Each structure stands twice: as C-alpha cells, then as structure tokens.
Amino acid sequence: MESYETLLQSLKNSPRRWLITGVAGFIGSNLLEQLLRLNQQVIGLDNFSTGRHENLEAVKNLVGPQWKQFEMIEGDICDLHLCQQLTQKVDYVLHQAALGSVPRSIEQPLKSHESNVNGHLNILKACTDAPIKKLVYASSSSVYGDNEDLPKKEEQVGNPLSPYAATKKINEIYSQVFHRVYHTPAVGLRYFNVFGARQDPNGPYAAVIPKWITAMLRQETVEIYGDGKTSRDFCYIDNVVQANIRAAVLPGGTGEVFNVAVGATTSLNDLFLILKKLLKKRNPDLSIQEPVYKDFRPGDIRHSFADITRIQEAFSYTPSHSIEEGLEEALDWYLKN
C-alpha cells in the first residue's frame, strides 16, 4: 500500500469534497487544517456547544489562501434535513461531532444521548441516502468498559462504565447494522486519549494533558484520580488525522471498527514526570509541586492499551508520533494557550 506522503500528494493532485462534523472542535479543526493544506474542498458543520470559534480562526491564520476552500455551516447534527442537504454535496464525511467526556455524560445522560446517538443516527441516514464514498466516524476506547484484557482488541469489548461509553457502543452497533442492511460505507475509529494543539485546557471536562500543563504553569497542584497507576495509550493528534484520511480514501474497512492509538501505555504517574521534565527543560526555574491523589473517578477504565494490528493491516496506518514526540511538538502551543 502507498506511503502516507504519497497518499497526501495524490489527494493534493486530485482534490475531493469533504464534510467534517464538529469542525470547530479539537479533532475537527485539526482535520480541517490538514485537508485545507491539501487544497481540498471542505464543508464544516458545528453548533458550537463545545466547538470554539477560536479554533477556526487559528486554522484560518495557518492555512492562508486555502481558507477560501472552506464553507462553514452553523447547525446541529440533530437536524436530519440539514445533514441530508450537506451529505449530498461531498465525497467523504468525517463525523467528529459529539458531546465528549465521561464525567459530562454522567451528569447529563439525556444530552449525551441526544447528540451522540440521535445525531449519529441522522448522519448515518443522510450518508445512506447520499452518493458518498465513505463515512468515517469517531468512536472511543471507552467502549472497552470493564473488559480487563490487554492490549485492547477490537472484538473484545466489555460492559460500558458510563453513558458516554454506552453512546459510542450504540454508534458502532447502528453503523454495523446500516452497513449490513443498507450497505452504508461506514468505518469506525476508536480513539485512545488524543492530545495536541487546540485541545481545550479549561472547563470541568478538560483532558488530562492540557489540564495538568495549565496547573503546572500556574504553580497549582496537579490532581491525580486514584493511585497514579491508571494507564492510558496517549495518542498525538497527527496520528488521528492520518487514521481518518487513510480510512476515508483507501478501500475497505466498511462495517468495521479500528483502534487508533500508538500501541504503548503510560501511567498517570509517568505522565506527570514526563510533563514535569519537558516544562523544566524550557523553564528550569519553574516550581512544580508534587501531585495530590484523590479518589478514583466514576466511569473511568483502569488501563487503556491498544492493539493497532487491525488498522495497520487494513490501511497501513503507522503512528508518526510517540507520546514524548507528540508532547515535544505540542508543548509550544500549550505554553502559549
């Protein structure tokens, strides 16, 4: 199978039309940036419930003249008619829109279901009725739930531990059913702890890496839920962008779901030490307090470590960044923001 660089050049030479849902979010805006750099035509859909105008402004400043290839639609995936209108205009759909976060879903299960399940079903129906080539949708490693087997293999899921995990499992079930019944060309990507530029460091549902970096820079205490031995397969955003593009453009994979990760595991204690080292390297005078350990958080899985064999075999996916390489690349953005 052709290299990623060859694939990107092929796209640049032959532009396609794309729809990105959740385009103003962390992952959506990074997908937008890469596609515009490749001179693709992109429609973006977002209701700005969690997406940010600042993310789009940042992409605009980065891509320059390519920005004219982008059309922004402010709207909701819960609007079936709108989804049907937009999918008629594109070759590929990258469906990222959702209400993320395990804690948020525990506090707001009905809102999570409305966006994540009903919205996903609308996208599936719209893609079924449209002449698209491929729908690639965001699932989550949270679907592994209480299954303790490591590494995580796609066929071995457990019972969901949160409403968010349940919504993502339902997404996969619906997508597979639509593929069997209607031949909808849907591919699911189970993201593992994605981090990178434009990830929101603020708010009660902030991801651990930007949240901890913010605390360290402010010389505030980092809070670790549990004993710090909880581990995650932290995945840099460039790996996720690569997986989406490969899964969309390359043949095969429809009706299936794939892990998107690095295939390595890092404990929260080790993550703290890595971040401390990188920040001290840039500012030796920075005083960083030792972390404070709190109770385990409801709904969190204990260990997350992906087997990425299936996506490697299907789409020749190869992670470009380890956690350390990704943090080195992203740290300047975190420091500025």
Catalytic center residues: 164
- C-alpha 255/C-alpha 128 separation (Å) is 13
Residue 250, amino acid: L
How far apart (Å, rounded) are the C-alpha atoms in residues 244 and 93? 10
The Cα–Cα gap between 117 and 200 comes to 23
- The DSSP secondary-structure symbol of 306 reads B
DSSP letters, 222-263, are PEEESSS--EE--EEHHHHHHHHHHHHHSS--TT-EEEES-S
Q: Which residues contact 220 (CB under 8 A, 6 or more apart)?
A: 289
Axis-axis angle for helices 208-217, 268-282 (nearest 10) = 40
Quick one: tokens of 87?
């999918």
Rounded CA-CA distance 103/162 in Å is 8
151 token code pair: 């590494």
191/259 Cα distance (integer angstroms):
6
Q: Which residues contact 284 (CB under 8 A, 6 or more apart)?
A: none
Containing 189, the helix (H) or strand (E) segment is strand 186-191
Which parts of 3-111 are beta strand (E)? 17-21, 41-46, 70-74, 92-95
Question: H/E element holding 293?
Answer: strand 292-294
Q: In whole angstroms, what is the distance from residue 175 CA to residue 45 CA? A: 20
